[in-house]
Structure 1
Amino acid sequence: MNAPLLSVSDARKRYGPVAALDGVSLEVRAGEFFALLGPSGCGKTTLMRCIAGFETPDSGRVTLNGADLSGVPPYRRPVNMMFQSYALFPHLNVFDNIAFGLRRKGEAAEAIAARVGELLEMTQLSPCATRRINELSGGQRQRVALARALAPRPALLLLDEPLGALDRKLREETQFQLKEIQRKTQTSFVIVTHDQDEALALADRVAVMRAGKVEQIASPVEIYEKPATRFVAGFVGETNFVDGVVRGGALDTAFGLLPRARCDLPEGARATLSIRPERIGVARAGHGVAGLVEDFVFRGEYTLLRVRVAPDVVLRVGAYEGGFAQGEEVRLSFAPDAGVLFAEAA
């Protein structure tokens, strides 16, 4: 295996009594799109600022291509950052915004023109080269900021909530553009976001953070299908948590026994099953757990039902065939391999 491009080892950072980073370790590979995902205050922005050099860890190491970055100021690191606000220069046109960093480095005019032209074409901004920033749409400004950050050919690009200012439809379109640009440049991207859909759509791997710690690092599919902790299961996507007791390899719940294909917990252990709404089968008749539809929300490709299966248990169920009505009796089914079982303390 090749050495990682970026390595963070046991990074710790405190602000008074608050541990913003509490022993964070992770690696980013060359050419990888990596996401730092977590709620506000989890430490992801502090970690990004430590990588960029705007903050210094109290302890631990940050290395890039094997070189220790301790004491290296931001402007000497082969790292660039794209800020959420974009921080574009309103008095400069698109071409000059993108060229700004190259001119500061003293590159030749011909080289600057060639590099800016390449990025204008890559970001589909060539027709906008002479426009001022206030003449651009939000999506165009986002691409100008991205092109400017990529212009000096950084080894690593940090993106701080880069799509947060865009509306939903434009954000989805821009995600495809961002992935395409990353693939073309083969620059390692690290995106910081609290938006789980964004992280899952963009990243090759995702680090889910909570309270200054990394809960799990894995591919988007593994994060969603095989969350390592109860926090990850609840934070990424929608899920149901079903409490019970392990009996004979099944989970004994308030609404009956749920068979398990695999159960590593001892007999009698208290446990919680995390099961996604789309993994629960729903029908109007037949075998399964009886329930009553309390409410529903139309989501376009499916309808999200709230089904009461016990006095104190309501499950969210994804129904891909419509027509279910409030107050209707239904039957729910659970495959033995559906969901992930956590010990009660998880």
Structure 2
Amino acid sequence: MSAPLLRVSSVSKTFGAVVALDDVSLDVGAGEFFALLGPSGCGKTTLMRAIAGFETPDRGRISLNGDDLSGVPPHRRPVNMMFQSYALFPHLNVFDNIAFGLRRKGEAKEAVAARVDELLEMTQLAPLGARRINELSGGQKQRVALARALAPRPKLLLLDEPLGALDRKLREETQFALKEIQRLTQTSFLIVTHDQDEALALADRVAVMRAGRVEQIAAPMDIYDRPATRFVAGFVGETNFIEGRLERGGADAALVTPLGRIACVADGFSDGARATLSVRPERIGVARDGEGIAGIVENFVFRGETTLLRVRVAPDVVLRAAAPHGARYAIGDAVRLSIALDAGTLLAEEP
């Protein structure tokens, strides 16, 4: 991005002996849906609060549209936040909740009504404008909170675990609604979440955080298919880690492991290097006979489109493989597991 909307440059923040942010840098483009993903305590919420103006970085710079936000109070930043709890006013109806911020800014009555009507239509709440908050479902409350946050036309909308209070089915439905509303408004969204599925489903790009640092920033498919570190590979989705020593012979490379030689793509790795191959369960082929790593089905979980198998391939090694729908395996079945040349991602050994 040549001219990002939001730029976070070398931001650090400590709370006593706790390092919450450690030299964090990232950019968010205009109209981009960006996700901060990581476990509790990784620093993602602290970073969001620093962008909103609720925390002051110890070092570094945060700018919006090229303007330094240092010293700018939260209410003067062209940024709005949608809280996990929604923080709706129970004594006001839907229309008045959405209109609240606009009225506080002193906008004309006609302009307020037009903007609220536009957002009611966009969030599919038009028939519910007169409803009280306690008369709404969880999904409807979520859309009211979103509409209220969007009403002042912020340049950047921060969303703090926005779907955490919804059940799984409603959460999946709301993901589509969020993406559509973001597309229609072309507002930059920055979502903070610990839910990997949510980040991958919603975001144009994802920043995976760990212990106050950014481990990788990439598109969701690249985060999943080409993780940069062992932490990213293990945190985002399910994977198998197979450790070994690399052997190179011209353009060919193989990881020498206790399970045998596994051909792999090893760009950037030298002969003899210690490395770990990360292989997603769905990238491991399963057959009852033929070539491959011999193993015994130890357990399985049916997941509809696939069946996840736990296969014992050595006394101290279990691999997970996803058999396609319709393939039936039982505990104790002998199987062969195959790993194609491009099935995994080779990761450097971490200190």
Query: After TM superposition, is the score higher than 0.5?
Result: yes
**Residue matched to 2:334:** 329
Cα offset, 1:262, TM superposition: 3.2
Within a 5 Å distance, the mapping from 1:1-346 to structure 2 comes to: 2-248=2-248, 249-320=253-324, 321-345=326-350
Mapped partners of 2:289, 2:11: distance in 1: 55
The CA distance in 2 between the partners of 1:136 and 1:145, in whole Å, is 12
Deviation of 1:82 after TM superposition, in Å, equals 0.1
Q: Is the 8 A contact 2:266 2:346 kept in 1?
A: no
Distance of 2:257 and 2:291 partners within structure 1: 17
Amino acid at match of 1:38: G
* Distance apart, 1:244 and its partner CA: 1.0
Deviation, 1:263, is: 4.5
Alignment check: 8 A CA contact 1:35 1:203 kept: yes
Under a length normalisation based on structure 2, what TM-score does the superposition of the two structures give? 0.97
Q: Secondary structure at the match of 2:197?
A: helix
Q: Judge conservation of contact 1:245–1:269 (CA < 8 Å) in 2.
A: yes
Structure 1 stretches lacking a partner, 5+ long: none
For residues 262-306 of structure 1, what are the alpha-carbon distances to aligned partners after superposition, in whole Å with 9 as ceiling and x for unaligned? Answer: 353222222111000000000111111111100000111100000
Which segments of structure 1 move beyond 3 Å, counting only runs of 4 or more?
Answer: 261-264
Q: In percent, how many aligned pairs have the same letter?
A: 77
CA deviation vs aligned residue, 1:29-48 (integer Å, no higher than 9, x gap) = 00000000000000000000
Q: Is the 8 A contact 1:262 1:337 kept in 2?
A: no
Aligned residues: 346
Would the aligned equivalents of 1:250 and 1:263 in 2 still touch at CA under 8 Å? no
Q: Secondary structure at the match of 2:134?
A: helix
Counterpart contact for 2:265–2:346, Cα < 8 Å: no
Q: Find the aligned partners of 2:59 and 2:53 in 1 and give their Cα distance.
A: 14
Deviations 1:238-271 (A, max 9, x none): 0000111112421111111101133532222221
Q: Do the aligned residues in 2 keep the contact of 1:254 with 1:313 (CA within 8 Å)?
A: no
Amino acid at match of 2:298: E
Q: Cα deviations across residues 26-84 of structure 1 (Å, max 9, x unaligned)?
A: 00000000000000000000000000000000010000000000000000000000000
TM norm structure 1 = 0.99
Shift of 1:167: 0.1
Distance 1:21 1:215 in 2: 12
Contact residue 50 and residue 56 of structure 2 kept, 8 A:
yes
Q: Tell me the secondary structure at the aligned position of residue 111 of structure 1.
A: helix
- Measured on the aligned residues, the alpha-carbon RMSD in Å equals 0.9
Could you say what secondary structure the match of 2:200 adopts? Answer: helix
1:9, 1:61 within 8 Å by CA — same for their partners in 2?
yes
Tell me the SS of whatever aligns to 1:322. coil
Structure 1 stretch 263-272 or stretch 2-11: which is displaced more?
Answer: 263-272
- Residues 131-159 of structure 1, C-alpha deviation per residue, up to 9 Å, x if partnerless? 00000000000000000000000000000
